[in-house]
Structure 1
Amino acid sequence: MVDVITEIEIQRPVEQVSNYAANPDNAPEWYVNIQSAEWRTPKPLNVGSKIAFKAHFLGRELAYVYEITEFIPGKMLVMRTANGPFPMETTYTWESLTENSTLMKLRNRGNPTGFSKMVAPFMASMMKKANNKDLKKIKDILEHTN
């Protein structure tokens, strides 16, 4: 099993951080590997919403659909692949540290199958590296906009 947890402190209120991060339309801006996000269900984001992503990871083009399985605005978002290269669950959590500071955690976990299973240890380290870049990018975007 691959289970990668990363976190970062962002100097913005929890509402601002969670609203930005939970909006799939923003994903290509702050996710290094995501090239596009396309709504498969009507907006706004709710449990049951489906979003198709196209990404580039480990030299491969990936296309997958995430379904929102849990959503507590300002607290947590959980999404799972409805289809894709291997079953994956992504969880965002946001915790207010102060009035203007938020701890954002990003967790990816799943059970690789086939070829992906053989490279799971390498995949986990690459995911952690990518997730750290993603969190640094969202921090930079949010801390440098009004």
Structure 2
Amino acid sequence: MAVDVLTDVVINRSRELVAAYSADPGHAPAWYSRIHSVTWETEPPLRVGSRMTFVAHFLGGRLTYTYEVADYAPGLRLVMRAVTGPFPMETTYTWADTSEGGTRMTLRNRGEPRGLRRLAAPVLEAAIRRANRADLARLKELLETG
């Protein structure tokens, strides 16, 4: 069973600001509660082919995974794919202007758990959804009050 979670939030800041902040891997630990560190495996800046290793805690365990940027249109879209980690996962950010001058940011996580994790896909999907909602709320709070 595949995991596919789409979450969004409206942030009352410009698309350029929201996209620049959220696409910067160095900011991930500030707004993703489960990400503890990010290490660049390639030289910055962010571009297609960039690789970063993330250390996170999720569902009671420590996860280490490396993402590679598969698509990057600054201010519009960022697609990263796990090249190492517990299971193949793709994370997509998109940013769009709202009519009120803010930004609608979407966060999509999709992947195909393997082995025994496949049986736990519904639980994993629900946990990712809860975490993403909380993380996007934290990002909104950081950007609107900072």
Q: Normalising TM by the smaller chain, what interval?
A: over 0.9
What is the TM-score normalised by the length of structure 2? Answer: 0.98
Alignment of 1:1-146 (within 5 A): 1-98=2-99, 100-145=101-146
Return the letter of the residue paired with 1:51: M
CA contact (8 A) 1:13 1:99 kept: no
- For structure 2, list consecutive stretches of 5 or more residues without a partner in the other structure: none
User: RMSD of the alignment, in Å?
Assistant: 0.8
Over 6 Å off, 4+ runs:
none
Percent identical pairs in the alignment equals 48
TM-score by structure 1 length? Answer: 0.98
State the alpha-carbon separation in 2 of the partners of residues 144 and 123 from structure 1.
Answer: 31
Q: Distance in 1 between matches of 2:102 and 2:74?
A: 17
Cα distance in 1, alignment partners of residues 78 and 10 from structure 2 = 17
Structure 1 stretches lacking a partner, 5+ long: none
What is the Cα deviation at residue 64 of structure 1? Answer: 0.3
Q: Report the Cα distance in structure 1 between the residues aligned to 2:116 and 2:23, rounded to whole angstroms.
A: 31
Report the alpha carbon displacement of residue 116 of structure 1 after superposing the two structures with TM. 1.1
Residue 98 of structure 1: how far off its partner (Å):
3.6
Between the aligned partners of 1:73 and 1:97, the Cα distance in structure 2 is: 17
Give the count of matched residue pairs.
145
